[in-house]
């Protein structure tokens, strides 16, 4: 059974960089036809797409975050990661990593990681 | 302001059938397949419906999706208390060049 798990600091200071890793087990991140993505949900708000990546391709980013976000894959560790620069309180959210069957069909999700931006 | 419009809330009693609407435009629903996600409290979101009408393995047939033009809907029949949570429609938007979600609909089972 495929499992995903997010890890990283739960507290980040304003203007600093948010970094999260998604560890994939029970399957390969090189799986053909599957994308890997990050989605977040701020408190009291809805789901928001952050970005997707294919294991050997270029990432896709939410245009609203594109100038601050970076997603990369480490196939040797079966992991993919998220970096979000210059964070503000508006970036406080539960961040989920997910496997996608296509570009928008996320069929496996991590349990989520709450990241709070505060000084 | 979401590019996909959903009602903020809907409610029903156990056993009842409810529907949740999702309205978009020609750049998203009008040309790309729609997915529905269920997000229950203290859990990860779950893919409920993909490609407009398809249910992933394990999703009960109480859940069904439909789409026509730039509108879609999710129907839940035989409503159960454990269905209470948030429901989101989502689609790729060709104009924004990104994956977008509706604002979400909170389902309350009375």
List chain B residues with CB under 8 Å of A96. 44-45
Q: Is A78 left (phi over 0), alpha (psi -120 to 50) or beta?
A: left
Measure the CA–CA gap between A18 and A10, rounded to whole angstroms. Answer: 9
Beta bridge partners of B89: B36
A105 and B50 within 8 Å at the Cβ level: the answer is yes
**Nearest CB neighbour to B91, from listed A46, A104, A110:** A104
Cβ of A106 within 8 Å of Cβ of B86? The answer is no
Please give the Cα distance from A104 to A115 (Å, whole number): 23
Q: Give the residue on A whose Cα is nearest the Cα of B106.
A: A46
pLDDT at B1 over 80: no
End-to-end CA distance of chain B: 29
Distance separating alpha carbons of residues B39 and B105, to the nearest angstrom:
10
Query: What percent of chain A is modeled with pLDDT above 90?
Result: 90
> Across residues B1-12, what is the average pLDDT?
94
Chain A residues closer than 8 Å to B45 by CB:
39, 41, 47, 96, 106, 109
Average pLDDT of the segment spanning B63-88: 97
Q: Which of B70, B24, B73 is nearest to B53 (CA)?
A: B73
């Amino acid at each position: 059974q495929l499992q995903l798990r997010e890890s990283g600091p739960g507290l980040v200071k304003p203007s600093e960089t948010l970094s999260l890793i998604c560890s994939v087990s029970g399957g390969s991140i090189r799986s053909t036809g599957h994308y890997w993505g990050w989605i977040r949900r701020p408190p009291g708000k809805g789901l928001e797409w952050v970005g997707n990546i294919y294991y050997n391709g270029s990432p896709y980013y939410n245009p609203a975050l594109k100038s601050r976000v970076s997603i990369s894959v480490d196939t040797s560790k079966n992991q993919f990661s998220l970096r979000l620069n210059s964070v503000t309180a508006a970036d406080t959210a539960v961040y989920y990593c997910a496997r996608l069957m296509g570009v928008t069909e996320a069929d496996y999700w991590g349990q989520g990681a709450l990241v709070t931006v505060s000084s | 302001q979401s590019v996909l419009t959903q009602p903020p809330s809907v409610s029903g009693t156990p056993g009842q059938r409810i529907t949740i609407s999702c309205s978009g435009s020609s750049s998203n629903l009008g040309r790309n397949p729609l997915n529905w996600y269920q997000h229950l409290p203290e859990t990860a979101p779950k893919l409920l419906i993909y490609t407009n009408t398809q249910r992933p393995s394990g999703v009960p047939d109480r859940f069904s999706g439909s789409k026509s033009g730039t509108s879609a809907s999710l129907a839940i029949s035989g409503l159960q208390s454990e269905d209470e949570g948030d429901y989101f429609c989502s689609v790729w938007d060709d104009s924004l060049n990104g994956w977008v979600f509706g604002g979400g609909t909170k389902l309350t089972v009375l």
